[in-house]
A = this chain, B = another copy of it.
């Protein structure tokens, strides 16, 4: 199999056994609790938030067992997965505990990947790589974070990035105290996977019973959109051009609101002259997972990335290939099918969405399925994958 044909999942989660144990030991959310049905059967349920709808969600081996992850990958033809801890990560712990647990979980994840199988068609590739954790929790002393980043980058060869939420050390990601964190992440080349947890907008969901739909379908992408917008407005992307940020769920609403964002900035005296470029330019600096479940959505994200260069201050360079910044993902083990199916509908939808983008060439589609990820995470070394945009981001 050509490397270009590998299917690579960059959005796939795990609650490592050590982490699941912590959740089981807790008496409030986030927690895993065991319920017993009237007939005496036990059922584990995960409560991520205190006001979790539907009494949480059922969880089982697919949340922590590596064999289940590999079975899922095999069933869907996924060659390589970049596995990340699922929310809420370490946010609920005091810094010292978060620091210790982050180190332990990163070592666990390194082992999870390193002792796993290799890709059959090319034994140079493992099937599992990971995003590590930082003790980036409320109250974390920001000056301690660069050391944690360095340790992660230096000691764990299969960990190629970090997954982070949106609260930073308690004041959000635009907290000026986090400058050393961004500098160290840019320096190491670790990919920052920005992922929602708390949702934004819960006070507007109303009182009707809508299950998890509003927090998941809207609150999650609103949160990601808000966080990356605040990073842009704070100049973080201007000051750290080497920072590599991957946005969950195709960037949420950022692409569709990006021209409105640019217009609002241009019409606000407070923002006058603050940013180096038009807001739309920054979309060309970001990466987007392809977890949007529709071809038109993916096509549009690639358009928003492709036009970005035209919005450089001082003007108009040519378009780039927007799809080169988009990466297949599944969100496994979330969105399981409601009934028995051979393949998960959520996965099939994301694959069909990629296949269905009429404006993408076969080469671009192959890039979104896997090649772009191999390049972003440095698995191709300095090898150029495709013309034009090849090699960009391959720093490791």
A139 interface hit (Cβ, 8 Å): no
A252 cross-chain contacts in B, Cβ below 8 A: 253, 256-257
Count class of interface residues, chain A? 35 or more
A200 interface hit (Cβ, 8 Å): yes
Q: Which of A198-216 contact B (CB under 8 A)?
A: 200-201, 203-214, 216
A221 cross-chain contacts in B, Cβ below 8 A: 253, 256-257, 260
A40 interface hit (Cβ, 8 Å): no
Once the chains bind, are A338 and B271 in contact (CB under 8 Å)?
A: no
Tell me whether A217 and B293 are in contact in the complex, defined as CB-CB below 8 angstroms, given that A200-B204, A210-B233, A267-B336 are known contacts.
no
Nearest CB on B from A356, distance (A): 10
Once the chains bind, are A233 and B256 in contact (CB under 8 Å)?
A: no
For A249, give its contact among B218, B260, B270, B296 (CB under 8 Å): B260
For A213, give its contact among B218, B253, B259, B264 (CB under 8 Å): B264
Tell me which of A91-99, A103-111, A128-136, A298-306 binds B. A298-306
Question: Once bound together, how far apart are the Cα atoms of A208 and B253, in whole Å?
Answer: 21
Once the chains bind, are A294 and B259 in contact (CB under 8 Å)?
A: yes
For A269, give its contact among B54, B217, B266, B299 (CB under 8 Å): B54
For A229, give its contact among B53, B218, B223, B338 (CB under 8 Å): B218
Nearest CB on B from A165, distance (A): 12
A259 cross-chain contacts in B, Cβ below 8 A: 292-294, 296-297, 349, 353
Nearest CB on B from A101, distance (A): 26
Once the chains bind, are B229 and A214 in contact (CB under 8 Å)?
A: yes
For A263, give its contact among B255, B299, B300, B349 (CB under 8 Å): B349
Nearest CB on B from A281, distance (A): 13
Once the chains bind, are B296 and A304 in contact (CB under 8 Å)?
A: yes
Q: Which of A53, A213, A223, A233 has the most CB of B within 10 A?
A: A213
Once the chains bind, are A206 and B174 in contact (CB under 8 Å)?
A: yes
Once the chains bind, are A271 and B171 in contact (CB under 8 Å)?
A: no
Once the chains bind, are A268 and B230 in contact (CB under 8 Å)?
A: no
Instruction: Give the residue name and chain of the B residue nearest to A215 (CB).
Output: B264
A269 cross-chain contacts in B, Cβ below 8 A: 54, 211, 338
A201 cross-chain contacts in B, Cβ below 8 A: 200-201, 222, 226
For A257, give its contact among B217, B267, B353 (CB under 8 Å): B217
A346 interface hit (Cβ, 8 Å): yes
Question: Once bound together, how far apart are the Cα atoms of A353 and B260, in whole Å?
Answer: 12
| Mask of A301-345 contacts with B, CB within 8 angstroms, 1/0 | 001100100000000000000000000000000011110000001
A266 cross-chain contacts in B, Cβ below 8 A: 338, 345
Instruction: Give the residue name and chain of the B residue nearest to A306 (CB).
Output: B296
Once the chains bind, are B226 and A218 in contact (CB under 8 Å)?
A: yes
A81 interface hit (Cβ, 8 Å): no
Q: Which of A204, A249, A253 has the most CB of B within 10 A?
A: A204
A53 cross-chain contacts in B, Cβ below 8 A: 270
A380 interface hit (Cβ, 8 Å): no
Instruction: Give the residue name and chain of the B residue nearest to A209 (CB).
Output: B270
A171 cross-chain contacts in B, Cβ below 8 A: 206-207
10 closest A-B pairs by CB: A259-B294, A211-B270, A253-B253, A259-B293, A300-B300, A211-B268, A217-B264, A256-B256, A200-B201, A217-B261
Q: A249-B260, A260-B293, A263-B293 are in contact. List 8 more A-B contacts (CB 8 A).
A: A200-B201, A203-B203, A204-B223, A205-B230, A213-B271, A216-B264, A218-B261, A296-B300
Can you list 5 pairs linking A and B with CB atoms under 8 Å apart?
A206-B230, A210-B230, A221-B253, A221-B257, A256-B256
